[in-house]
Amino acid sequence: MRAIVVEAPGRIHCVDRAVPEPGPGQVRVLVRACGVCRTDLHLLDGELDEARYPVVPGHEVVGLVDAYGSGAGRIPRGTRVGVPWLAWTCGQCGPCREGAENLCERAAFTGCHVDGGYAEAVLVDERFCLPLPKGISDVEAAPLLCAGLIGFRSLRMAGDALRLGLYGFGAAAHIIAQVARHEGREVHAFVRPGDEKARALALELGAVWAGGSDEEPAQPLDAAIIFAPVGALLPVALQAVRKGGVVVCGGIHMSDIPSFPYSLLWGERVVRSVANLTRQDGEDFMSLAAAVPLRVTTNVYPLADAVRALDDLRHGRFTGAAVLSVA
């Protein structure tokens, strides 16, 4: 099979390798589509401290179950499943016992610790496969598995905020803006200054206002979610939210946060991060995605063009999400 492998930070190649055989508890999934996530760029750039190299990236995987290891077989052969970032948890540590498996002390992550979906087949712990909503294509479903899921968890961390700011209007924000509108929230989109395509997409998807991340909202926000991996946006977002408001950092990696005056945090404003996801997040979000329904804006690349897709993501050459078509 073909696979894209990150050999070490900065080194990525397309290779031929044997089709993997599932081990105990595993299923083999024939990949049909895989989303291209900014976390894949962090992996390529060596910014994920615990990443295993060499590794096949990709944690927004859509495919069909085609083989079982011993002890697996709960999911019928041929079933379409999603493979998310969370690949395995120990079930024994404090966070796992408390229902916070996203914080598992020994967790493994797809496309980081175990091979992911930039390949024609991938091995998955059967317990961590997610059901996918019907009526949405493989390419459209792929971004739901991280951009959608992390956006969903970030939105829940924002509480009942009615006036919601989204900083960085890419894959995650363009999905979660639709969920927020479905829930009756008022969306304010903050895009990269000068990015008129992202601004137009935000307004098209129901934002009441869209402008540059260097602009201030007309009224204080109840909450803001930062999807762009830019630490300098944290004090900007704090400035934009009301007293008692919440700023959620929705990425797995962010550049350093600059110092800022205490007055921005004062007034019981809250700053919190989002770490990974749980299987329950996945089940809840997929049910919601089917009900909205979501419009997913995608830019499709063949598997062999994964490096180009990553470079286009790095330089903001598209709006919405990038997806590798593998089938």
| Residues 85 and 159 placed together within one structural domain of the fold | no
Q: Give residue for tokens 């595993």.
A: 26
Question: Which residues, 6+ apart, have CB-to-CB distance to 160 below 8 Å?
Answer: none
95-121 pLDDT, tens digit per residue, is 999 999 999 999 999 999 999 999 999
- Residues 277-288 have pLDDT tens digits of 999 999 999 999
* The pair of three-digit structure tokens given for residue 304, joined into one six-digit string: 């062999």
- Alpha helices by DSSP H, listed for 160-319, are 171-182, 196-204, 233-240, 262-265, 279-291, 306-314
Model pTM greater than 0.85?
A: yes
Percent of the chain with pLDDT over 70: 100
**What's the CATH number where 265 sits?**
3.40.50.720
Q: Is the pLDDT of residue 260 over 90?
A: yes
Residues 110 and 68 occupy one common structural domain: yes
**CA pseudo-torsion sign 302, 118, 283, 190:** negative
Pair 161, 118 in one domain: no
Of 273, 289, 317, which residue is a domain's last? Answer: 273
What local confidence, expressed as pLDDT, does residue 210 receive?
97
Do 204 and 219 belong to one domain? yes
pLDDT category at 91 given cuts 50, 70, 90 is: very high
Residues 284 and 305 in one domain: yes
Residue 138's pLDDT is 97
Residues 169 and 190 in one domain: yes
Q: Are residues 92 and 221 in the same domain?
A: no
Structural domain for 249, as ranges: 148-273
- Asked if 254 and 308 sit in the same domain, the reply is no
Amino acid 64 reads: L
Over its C-alpha atoms, the chain yields an Rg (Å, rounded) of: 19
pLDDT of residue 290: 86
The total of structural domains in the chain comes to 2
Same domain, 141 and 290: yes
Q: pLDDT band for position 251 (50/70/90)? A: confident
pLDDT at 288: 92
**Is the pLDDT score of 130 beyond 90?**
yes
What value, to the nearest 5°, has the Cα angle with vertex 186 and ends 184 and 188? Answer: 150
Give the side-chain half-sphere CA count within 13 A for 18: 3
Q: For residue range 285-314, list pLDDT tens digits in order.
A: 999 998 898 999 999 999 999 999 999 999
The model's pLDDT over 23-34, given as tens digits with 9 standing for 90+, comes to 999 999 999 999
Domain CATH for 110: 3.90.180.10
Identity (one letter) of the amino acid at 28? R
Which helix or strand (DSSP H or E) is residue 207 part of?
Answer: none
| pLDDT of 15 over the 90 cut | yes
**Is the pLDDT assigned to residue 234 strictly greater than 90?**
yes
Same domain, 131 and 217: no
Share the mean pLDDT of the chain.
96
Check pLDDT > 90 for residue 225. Answer: yes
Give me 69's structure tokens.
Answer: 């290891």
285, 255: one domain: no
Q: Are residues 71 and 123 in the same domain?
A: yes
- The 3-state DSSP class for residue 259 equals coil
